[in-house]
């Protein structure tokens, strides 16, 4: 770790004893300085060739400086994990810098290419970020689900018995508006969540405005109703002392009654304004005039802004006072921009000090010109003492806290079900059921979860064998009463299924936590989740969040498409194939047959466990670094092919496609299909086989991976000049250069349309662009034109066009 350039040697003669709290106050000042300077530097002192505003949030940083200083330098233990509100990223990086876990260079490149990130990022930041944040609300919920996962792995005996960490979120008050926070609260309550602290930065400001005065009462009630202890950290020690003076009670009543807007405005205006307002409002109450007279304007301002969240001693007392593992909501009163010239102003969210203000700020912090990045410049405590203090900080004693776990071996073959007719969803359930029965290490590491669709997505067999996870052992009442049921859902701390209520955000955030178990808790979990495919969109931001932090999981969206027919028009999914393709960190598959699914799952379990640290820079399929897997599965029973897949076909299934019927060299037509439309693709193929001998039938198991391979190979050729070819280029090579491709899927046709650009073939795309009509599968396939007739019509159009009888528009 490089020292900041030019940090001078520690001065002598400053050896007066400072107590612990005084050192923390000094560090707090330094953290405030560094975070403000980092943002100032990024905006004013770096080249900005494209002129786009860099930004940063000095005011948002200032409101949590005390809380974060207290936490990181004093309260937290290495096993604790923290989600920092997005805009406090510079505070986090400054703290890491002071702890020797972050380079000055990273701060100097805040929001720059390769520099410290705008919002704390597990994957992109170089220091010790526990949970990424950025999309407000998600990091908050993450702490609750991480705590559940921590308890899950502990109760199942998968850890070495280390003490449980506290999962801490520093929450912006406006984050509570995000519905996912309430969803997480309710789910946490159901599972009796423990060891979670949500410290609410109650600065009563959001991005646009001052938040509603009535929020405070609601927060209390909301959390208490969910079984949380609410601790209000409202007044600082100076205020507490003033309240004890004659006139003090009136002052407290005034503070309690002041509207958020008035309070904020006075914070901005300062001492004289406080005096005028207080005199007007309570000046005639006994003792008040004398009380006010004891403070000059500056002191009065300091008193009135001495809220609990800015008083180091009060913060420490509160946080150290927590002695049990019940979830805690700590409402810390703060001031947005505390210690900055625009403190309290409602428009301060994106405010950045101008050069003049920064000069004054620098002087106030005693930072000499040129010493802006020095760790200790401007601090009064003896620097050797500061160093010794930092070296002894409990949180940082163990160094970086990112953990790992060895991969779990994946067997050569998963228990693939036999059966002449099956849907991919049924096959998925049976493979998991088979795994549950076999009792191998792979099965023991699986944690399944589903938002109230466990039975209807075919996870019931697995759950019958592996049980539901719960802190306490509870028997299945129906079973005890000898009532017949296909579902025997005993609950126990050893259970391997986490049943969630209907909230897809929770599902994906749980997957984010479970999928990081190896990194957070040093023990491997293989999370497997199911949900109805259309509701992927309900949880989409949370899914993106999970992928962004590199959590590893398998998620099956089922049933899907319009093929879910009688399930109802409202549940049809059209866009999910494109989501699967576009989502970074997620390899999307849509198999048609169960043997393909077995291959994909087998590969998937290994892919989840690959290690990013081994990745070469050029790995385009993420095949070395790994990722998560999305399976789009269907409820349509399909005739299963009688075959044994050879190794080459298995490889192509994973690469994304294989010829179900090989084309002859120079073939003029190929039908390309994905997923549940396989039967009609096959039927259409057999119908044209006579007329178009040599035509091919291409099974696309993953348009996502085929496409990724194609674009990456093109990039490799352009940038490295090598002769890389992509699997899809090889696949389409036998066709005539002007062959037609009829593509078909139960989803948006764009997913396969790009195939035309691979070798210049003309695509006749079939797919679904509208939804909402219920009916039988064949009625809907006919109505939306993805049935056999539609495929044949498209084949005819393709052939006519190629043979020159019809010219394309
Ligand atoms: C999901 C989402 N929506 C919108 C934003 C843009 N945004 C960033 S911070 C913020 C509000 C910040 O208020 P608060 O949480 O109270 O934090 P403060 O700035 O007061 O510290 C908004 C709307 C976002 N980051 N994420
Ligand atoms: Mg706020």
- When pLDDT is averaged across residues 595-619 and rounded to a whole number, the result is 84
Looking at residue 805, its pLDDT comes to 60
Helices 138-155 and 179-190, axial angle in degrees (round to 10): 20
Cα–ligand 1 centroid distance for 26 (angstroms): 29
Ligand with an atom nearest the CA of residue 170:
1
Looking at residue 13, its pLDDT comes to 38
The CA-CA-CA angle for residues 471, 476, 477, to 5°, reads 120
Q: Whose CA is nearest to atom 21 of ligand 1?
A: 60
In the chain, % helix, strand, coil (3-state, to 5) comes to: 45, 10, 45
Element (H, E) at 169: strand 167-172
Ligand with an atom nearest the CA of residue 174:
1
- Ligand 1 pocket test target in 58, 65, 206, 345 with most atoms within 8 Å of CB: 206
Q: Whose CA is nearest to atom 13 of ligand 1?
A: 206
Cα–ligand 1 centroid distance for 666 (angstroms): 58
Q: What is the mean pLDDT of the chain?
A: 93
Selection from 774, 725, 415 nearest residue 561 by Cα: 774
Looking at residue 350, its pLDDT comes to 86
Looking at residue 5, its pLDDT comes to 34
What residues contact 300, with CB distance under 8 A and at least 6 apart? 271, 274, 275, 292
User: 105-161: per-residue pLDDT in tens?
Assistant: 999 999 999 999 999 999 999 999 999 999 999 999 999 999 999 999 999 999 998
Ligand with an atom nearest the CA of residue 62:
1
**What string of H, E and C letters represents the secondary structure of 730-782?**
HHHCCCCCCCEEEEEECCCCHHHHCHHHHHCCEEEEECCCCCCCCCCHHHHHH
Q: Assign 619 a pLDDT band (cuts: 50, 70, 90).
A: low
**What string of H, E and C letters represents the secondary structure of 464-490?**
HHHCEECCCCECCHHHHCCCCCCCCCC
Cα–ligand 2 centroid distance for 125 (angstroms): 24
- Ligand 1 pocket test target in 87, 140, 333 with most atoms within 8 Å of CB: 87
Per mean pLDDT, which range of 105-114, 580-589, 607-616 is the poorest? 607-616
- Has residue 309 got a pLDDT over 50? yes
- Residue 211 CA: which ligand 1 atom is closest? 16
Report the percentage of the chain scoring pLDDT > 90. 84
DSSP 787: S
Using the structure block, give the residue that is written with the tokens 């776990």: 405
Cα–ligand 1 centroid distance for 374 (angstroms): 31
Looking at residue 561, its pLDDT comes to 97
Ligand 1, residues at Cβ distance < 6 Å = 60, 63, 85-87, 135-136, 172-175, 201, 203, 205-207, 336, 349
Looking at residue 14, its pLDDT comes to 39
Looking at residue 778, its pLDDT comes to 96
Looking at residue 175, its pLDDT comes to 95
Q: Assign 15 a pLDDT band (cuts: 50, 70, 90).
A: very low
- Answer for the pair 305, 267: CB distance below 8 angstroms, yes or no: yes
Looking at residue 349, its pLDDT comes to 84
- Residue 201 CA: which ligand 1 atom is closest? 21
Looking at residue 466, its pLDDT comes to 96
DSSP 173-212: GGGGGSHHHHHHHHHHHHTT--SEEEEEEE-SB-SSSBPP
- When pLDDT is averaged across residues 616-620 and rounded to a whole number, the result is 56
Q: Which two tokens stand for residue 126?
A: 């170089």
For residue 493, give the 3-state DSSP assignment: coil
Q: Assign 652 a pLDDT band (cuts: 50, 70, 90).
A: very high
- When pLDDT is averaged across residues 351-360 and rounded to a whole number, the result is 95
Q: How far apart are CA 95 and CA 65, in angstroms?
A: 10
- When pLDDT is averaged across residues 475-490 and rounded to a whole number, the result is 76
- Has residue 623 got a pLDDT over 90? no
Cα–ligand 2 centroid distance for 400 (angstroms): 30
Using CA atoms of 322, 323, 325, 326 in order, give the dihedral in degrees to the nearest 10: -60
- Ligand 1 pocket test target in 174, 215, 309 with most atoms within 8 Å of CB: 174
Looking at residue 231, its pLDDT comes to 97
Q: Which two tokens stand for residue 563?
A: 């093929």
Selection from 680, 705, 694, 704 nearest residue 740 by Cα: 694
- When pLDDT is averaged across residues 281-296 and rounded to a whole number, the result is 97
Work out the end-to-end distance of the chain between its first and last CA atoms, rounded to an integer number of angstroms. 63
Q: How many CB atoms lie within 10 A of CB 477?
A: 9
- Residue 60 CA: which ligand 1 atom is closest? 21
pTM: 0.95
Q: Could you tell me the CA-to-CA distances from 149 to 165, 229, 402, 514, 517 in Å, in that order?
A: 11, 21, 16, 6, 7
Using the structure block, give the residue that is written with the tokens 């490295």: 720
Tally of CA atoms within 13 A in the half-sphere of 152 that contains its CB: 34
For residue 323, give the 3-state DSSP assignment: coil
Q: How far apart are CA 81 and CA 65, in angstroms?
A: 18
Q: Could you tell me the CA-to-CA distances from 319 to 316, 330, 472 in Å, in that order?
A: 5, 9, 29
Q: Assign 430 a pLDDT band (cuts: 50, 70, 90).
A: very high
Q: How far apart are CA 39 and CA 349, in angstroms?
A: 13
What residues contact 130, with CB distance under 8 A and at least 6 apart? 81, 82, 83, 122, 401, 520
Element (H, E) at 706: helix 703-720
Cα–ligand 2 centroid distance for 182 (angstroms): 17
Cα–ligand 1 centroid distance for 30 (angstroms): 25
Looking at residue 612, its pLDDT comes to 67
Ligand with an atom nearest the CA of residue 136:
1
Q: Whose CA is nearest to atom 25 of ligand 1?
A: 135
Q: Assign 716 a pLDDT band (cuts: 50, 70, 90).
A: confident
For residue 150, give the 3-state DSSP assignment: helix
- Answer for the pair 590, 398: CB distance below 8 angstroms, yes or no: no
- Residue 134 CA: which ligand 1 atom is closest? 25
Q: How many CB atoms lie within 10 A of CB 133?
A: 32
As beta bridge partners, residue 254 has none
Separation of CA 722 from chain center: 36
Looking at residue 4, its pLDDT comes to 36
Ligand with an atom nearest the CA of residue 348:
1
Work out whether strand 669-674 and strand 740-745 pair parallel, antiparallel, or are unpaired.
parallel
- Residue 88 CA: which ligand 1 atom is closest? 21
Radius of gyration of the chain (CA): 31
Work out whether strand 628-632 and strand 81-84 pair parallel, antiparallel, or are unpaired.
unpaired
Cα–ligand 1 centroid distance for 349 (angstroms): 9
Q: How far apart are CA 144 and CA 510, in angstroms?
A: 9
User: 22-33: per-residue pLDDT in tens?
Assistant: 999 999 999 999
Per mean pLDDT, which range of 265-279, 398-412, 709-723 is the poorest? 709-723
For residue 146, give the 3-state DSSP assignment: helix
Ligand with an atom nearest the CA of residue 87:
1
Looking at residue 11, its pLDDT comes to 41
- Ligand 1 pocket test target in 172, 178, 198, 345 with most atoms within 8 Å of CB: 172
């Amino acid at each position: 770790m490089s020292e900041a350039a030019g940090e001078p040697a520690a001065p002598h003669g400053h050896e007066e004893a400072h107590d612990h709290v005084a050192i923390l106050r000094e560090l707090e000042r330094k953290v405030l300085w560094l975070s403000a300077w980092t943002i100032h530097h990024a905006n004013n002192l770096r080249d900005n060739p494209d002129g786009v505003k860099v930004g940063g949030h000095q005011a948002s940083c200032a409101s949590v400086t005390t809380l974060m200083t207290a936490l990181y330098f004093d309260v937290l233990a290495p096993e604790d994990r923290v989600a920092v509100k997005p805009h406090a990223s510079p505070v986090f990086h400054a703290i890491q810098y002071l702890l020797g876990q972050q380079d000055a260079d990273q701060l100097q490149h805040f929001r720059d290419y390769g520099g410290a990130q705008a919002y704390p990022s597990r994957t992109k930041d170089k220091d010790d970020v526990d949970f990424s944040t950025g999309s407000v609300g998600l990091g908050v919920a993450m702490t609750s689900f991480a705590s559940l996962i921590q308890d899950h792995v502990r109760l199942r005996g998968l850890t070495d018995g280390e003490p449980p960490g506290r999962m801490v979120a520093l929450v912006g008050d406006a984050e509570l508006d995000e519905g996912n926070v309430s969803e997480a609260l309710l789910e946490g309550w159901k599972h009796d969540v423990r060891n979670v602290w949500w410290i609410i930065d109650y600065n009563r400001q959001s991005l646009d405005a001052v938040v509603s005065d009535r929020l405070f009462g609601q927060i209390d009630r909301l959390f208490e109703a969910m079984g949380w202890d609410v601790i209000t950290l409202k007044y600082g020690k100076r205020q507490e002392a003033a309240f004890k003076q004659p006139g003090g009670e009136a002052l407290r009543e005034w503070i309690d009654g002041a509207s958020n807007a008035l309070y904020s405005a006075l914070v901005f205006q300062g001492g004289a304004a406080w005096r005028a307002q207080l005199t007007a409002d309570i000046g005639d109450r006994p003792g008040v005039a004398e009380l006010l007279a004891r403070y000059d304007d500056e002191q009065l301002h300091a008193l009135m802004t001495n809220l609990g969240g800015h008083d180091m001693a009060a913060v420490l007392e509160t946080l150290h006072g927590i002695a049990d593992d019940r979830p805690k909501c700590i409402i810390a009163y703060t001031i947005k921009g505390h210690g900055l010239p625009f403190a309290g102003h409602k428009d301060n969210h994106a405010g950045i000090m101008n050069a003049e203000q920064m000069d004054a700020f620098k002087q106030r912090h005693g930072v000499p010109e040129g010493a802006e990045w020095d760790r200790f410049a401007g601090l009064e405590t003896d620097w050797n003492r500061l160093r010794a203090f930092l070296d002894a900080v409990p949180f940082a004693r163990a160094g970086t806290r990112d953990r790992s776990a060895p991969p779990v071996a994946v067997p050569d073959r998963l228990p693939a079900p036999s059966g002449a007719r099956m849907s991919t969803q049924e096959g998925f359930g049976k493979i998991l059921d088979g795994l549950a029965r076999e009792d191998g290490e792979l099965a023991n590491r699986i944690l399944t979860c589903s938002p109230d669709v466990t039975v209807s997505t075919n996870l019931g067999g697995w759950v019958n064998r592996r049980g539901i996870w719960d802190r306490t052992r509870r028997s299945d009442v129906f079973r005890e009463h000898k009532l017949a049921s296909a579902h025997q859902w005993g609950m126990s701390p050893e259970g391997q299924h986490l049943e969630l209520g209907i909230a897809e955000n929770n599902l994906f955030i749980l997957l984010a936590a479970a999928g990081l178990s190896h990194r957070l808790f040093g023990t491997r979990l293989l999370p497997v989740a199911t949900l109805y495919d259309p509701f992927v969109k309900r949880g989409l931001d949370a899914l993106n969040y999970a992928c962004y932090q590199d959590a590893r999981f398998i998620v099956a969206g089922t049933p899907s498409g319009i093929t879910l027919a009688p399930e109802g028009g409202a549940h049809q999914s059209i866009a999910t194939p494109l989501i699967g393709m576009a989502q970074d960190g997620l390899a999307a598959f849509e198999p048609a047959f169960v043997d393909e699914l077995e291959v994909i799952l087998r590969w998937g379990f290994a892919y989840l466990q690959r290690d990013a640290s081994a990745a070469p820079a050029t790995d385009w399929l993420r095949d070395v670094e790994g990722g998560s897997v999305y399976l789009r599965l269907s409820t349509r029973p399909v005739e299963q092919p009688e075959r044994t897949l050879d190794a080459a076909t298995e490889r192509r299934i994973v690469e994304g496609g294989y010829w179900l019927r090989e084309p002859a060299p120079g073939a003029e037509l190929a039908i390309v299909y994905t997923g549940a439309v396989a039967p009609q693709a096959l039927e259409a193929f057999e119908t044209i086989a006579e007329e178009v001998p040599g035509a091919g039938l291409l099974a696309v198991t993953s348009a996502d991976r085929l496409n990724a391979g194609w674009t990456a190979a093109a990039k490799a050729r352009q940038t490295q000049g090598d002769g890389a070819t992509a699997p899809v280029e090889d696949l389409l090579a036998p066709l005539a250069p002007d062959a037609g491709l009829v593509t078909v899927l139960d989803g948006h046709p764009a997913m396969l349309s790009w195939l035309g650009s691979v070798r210049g073939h003309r695509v006749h795309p079939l797919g679904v662009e509208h939804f909402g009509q219920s009916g039988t599968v064949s009625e809907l396939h006919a109505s939306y034109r993805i049935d056999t007739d539609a495929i044949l019509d498209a084949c005819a159009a393709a052939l006519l066009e190629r043979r020159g009888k019809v010219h394309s528009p």
